[in-house]
A and B are shown apart, each in its own frame.
Chain A
Amino acid sequence: MRVFSVFEISECPLAPSIPGHGEAIVKTVRIGAGLGFYGDSWVPIATTLERGEVQYIGSDHLAELTLAILHKDRSKDPQAGYTRDLVPMLTALWPAAQARGVKFLLNAGGLNPEGAAAALRAEFTKRGWQAKIATVSGDDVLGRIDEIRSTGATLSHLDSGAPIESVRERLLFANAYLGAQPLVDALGQGADIVLTGRVADAALFLAPLVHEFGWGWSDWDRLAQGITVGHLLECSGQGSGGNFNAYGEQGWQSIPDYPHLGFPIAEVSEDGTAVITKAPGSGGRVDFDTLRQQLLYEVHNPHRYFSPDVVLDMGTLRLDDLGKDRVRVSGATGLPRPNALKVVAGYADGWAGSATIGYSWPQAYAKAQTAERIVRQLIAERQLKYEEIHTEFIGLNSLLGPLADTTHADELNEVYLRMLVRTPDRGLAEAFPRQFPWLALSGPPTASGFSGMDAPRALLGLWPTLVPRDLVETQINVTVSTT
């Protein structure tokens, strides 16, 4: 815990004094952003540890698709099911973290937090490193669906209301989003590293604030500030100038030093007011514009941003740009937490077969279009029946789709035809790309750059639903072990 005197961090010399003390002490907690997804770089976290003066790192490794990948891992190996970046990442970062007393909260436990902890303990023990490692489990409800339904919870689809029977046999995972409480428990037991499964991303950042400041669980406005801080940090570099979708003078091209982009850091006060910044000397930019892009990212109704611990209303938030990569965030309004927890379940939803083939100028687009027509005709004649056939022309419309400007389509230097099919039949998905290679010698001229003979891709359907929180929270387990 860092304790600053007000004279170090404020120009206000007459801050209220605490009786019996010579000067007022203002405590701030500094939290750094960890990974923003499974596959992100941890090099910027090393910079944060070296120069960012943080006490905690919150690291988000899980997306819906990640849980499907982890399900596949675990079905091959019961010890697996956590994100494999965990051990190399903490092996690289722990010496610098331990030297500075920095603690980690990571949802890298995925579908198997205990397995993650075991792998980490083994590596740390081998190296003679000491750490108190906590696991938080209880989010995985796949094995409890019948039990939960027997209490009267329907687990119907949150949007469509469809009954869960329609996907019951195809479910691959089902995890409730847990809140910050078990993470606070783990920190209270002295954990240095907290490994969770599915928790709300922002809970990884709210937990250290509740632990340090002792905020009450019905102090809605402070909790809302904590969730805001978490939301600003949970996508790593997107909170400090990465993926900054702005153009012109202050646009993406003005972001300094992309190769060394620093992940965001929050400096939070007891009242919840936070300053978002980044490590000195790192690349990227924290200002009003880069930060508000992240603030609204993946938010739906901004007046009802749900988390397990509080509902945040962003309508009263203030972002004050203090300059020099510092933005003050204040004014969040919190509403009481929801009675239900969100569960996201995934189910097997068929297969995609795909192929890509390129054509050069002249008439690149016309040649690619002709190739598409040939393939469609052949699969019809050969009675390969697909649920959906999707066509894109890379270089023309693969990213903007129907909104692409095709004015100069006839003069393009090159166009790749990319086609995909959707089918419940894995064999049919595999058959699709085989319709392409012969085009190289027997179709339109200049065909090059074929790809697509890889294994078909398993598609994942998602089943968002709600579960009464008591049914989940009574099963949460926090375990602490030491290396």
Chain B
Amino acid sequence: MRLVDIAHARSGDKGDRADIGVFARNAKDYTFIKQLLTAPRIAAHFRGISSGAVDVWPLDNLWAIKIVLNNALQGNAARSLRSDNLGKCLAAALLRMEIDNPQGNPHE
């Protein structure tokens, strides 16, 4: 399964940083996602797009994870050559991450 099956997300830009908010639909999925979305895992996922450090802040009060990708937007939106110069699709790209079923495999 993919992250999109258990979470939703929005991304935006500020200078050369792209940011992504990831939102779980319940406390159990939130706990799972919080363990899943570590900085190294996110950095590996965005290889080729973002070369900088990854910052991650979990927000237990909102079942949300805040992610910042540094050096991700070719300087900034107004100097980027990409169609997605604002990084609006990076949230979608994250939601495509292949994940284990947080409920466990029912066939096991």
Contacts and interface: CB of A to CB of B under 8 A. Distances in A.
B29 interface: no
A297 B15 contact: no
Nearest to A291: B62
Contacts of A164: none
Contacts of B12: 297-298
A422 interface: yes
Interface in B1-29: 4-5, 8-17, 19, 21, 23, 25
A398 B75 CA distance: 18
A163 to B, nearest CB: 18
B62 A245 contact: no
Interface stretch (A208-216, A314-322, A441-449): A314-322
Contacts of A349: 75, 79
Contact of B19 (A247, A292, A295, A298): A298
Given A64-B76, A299-B66, A317-B61, A401 B82 contact: yes
A264 interface: no
Interface in A241-295: 243-248, 251, 289, 292-295
Given A300-B14, A461-B75, A392 B57 contact: no
Contacts of B15: 159, 462, 464
A318 B47 CA distance: 35
Nearest to B59: A302
Given A247-B4, A349-B79, A296 B10 contact: yes
A251 B92 CA distance: 13
Contact of A388 (B78, B81, B84): B81
Contacts of A461: 75-76, 79
Contacts of A299: 19, 21, 66
8 contacts: A246-B8, A247-B95, A349-B75, A399-B84, A401-B84, A403-B96, A405-B96, A418-B83
B61 A316 contact: yes
A462 B78 contact: yes
A65 interface: yes
A251 B59 CA distance: 22
A289 B8 contact: yes
Contacts of B88: 243
A420 interface: yes
B63 to A, nearest CB: 8
B78 A403 contact: no
Contacts, number: 138
Interface range for B: 35 or more
B8 to A, nearest CB: 3
Contacts of A314: 59, 61-62
B56 to A, nearest CB: 11
B10 A297 contact: yes
B8 A390 contact: no
Contacts of A352: 81
A459 interface: yes
A contacts with B: majority SS: mixed
Given A293-B21, A296-B21, A300-B17, 19 more contacts: A64-B76, A159-B15, A238-B10, A243-B10, A289-B25, A296-B64, A297-B10, A299-B66, A303-B57, A315-B61, A349-B79, A354-B81, A392-B83, A399-B89, A400-B89, A400-B92, A403-B46, A460-B79, A462-B75
A418 B84 CA distance: 13
A430 to B, nearest CB: 16
Contacts of B39: none
Given A245-B8, A245-B92, A403 B83 contact: no
B86 to A, nearest CB: 10
Contact of A300 (B10, B25, B68): B68
A142 interface: no
A237 interface: no
Contacts of A248: 5
A293 B64 CA distance: 9
Contact of B84 (A315, A398, A464): A398
A435 interface: no
A301 B17 CA distance: 12
Contacts of A318: 61
A159 B70 CA distance: 10
B49 interface: yes
Contact of B55 (A298, A300, A350): A300
Given A245-B9, A349-B75, A462-B75, A398 B21 contact: no
A127 B18 CA distance: 45
Nearest to B4: A247
Interface string A230-246: 00000000100001111
